[in-house]
Structure 1
Amino acid sequence: MQGRYLNHDPKHIEFLDMSRLDVGFRTNFFAMNVEDIDSVPATAATRAKYAVHEGIARLERLAKDTTKTEDAKHEAAKALFQNVKKEVSQSSERLRKFSEREAEAAKNRAFEVLSPDPTKKDIYSEIRAYCASRSTDPAFPAELSKLSAENIDVARAINAGPGFLSGIGDERRTRLVTDALEKFAPDDVAAMNHALAIGKEGERMELGLRKLEQAMFTATLADRAAYSRVDVDAPLVAEEGE
Structure 2
Amino acid sequence: MSDININTAQGVMEIQFNRPDKKNAITEQMYKELTAAFINARKNDAVQVVLMSGQKSCFTAGNDLADFMQHPPEDDDAPVFQFLMTMADFPKPVIAAVNGAAVGIGTTLLLHCDLVFCGENAKFQMPFVNLGLVPEFASSYLLPLRVGHAKASEWLLTGKMFGAHEAKEAGLINEVYSDETFFSAALQQAQGIAKLPTESVRITKKLMKQTYMSKTLQTIDEEGALFRKRLESDDFKNAVSAFFNK
Scaled by the length of structure 1, what TM-score is found?
0.23
Which one has the largest radius of gyration?
1
Greater share of helix residues, 1 or 2? 1
Q: How high is the TM-score relative to the length of structure 2?
A: 0.23
Structure with the largest fraction of strand: 2
The one of the two structures with greater contact order (alpha-carbon pairs below 8 A, sep at least 6) is 1
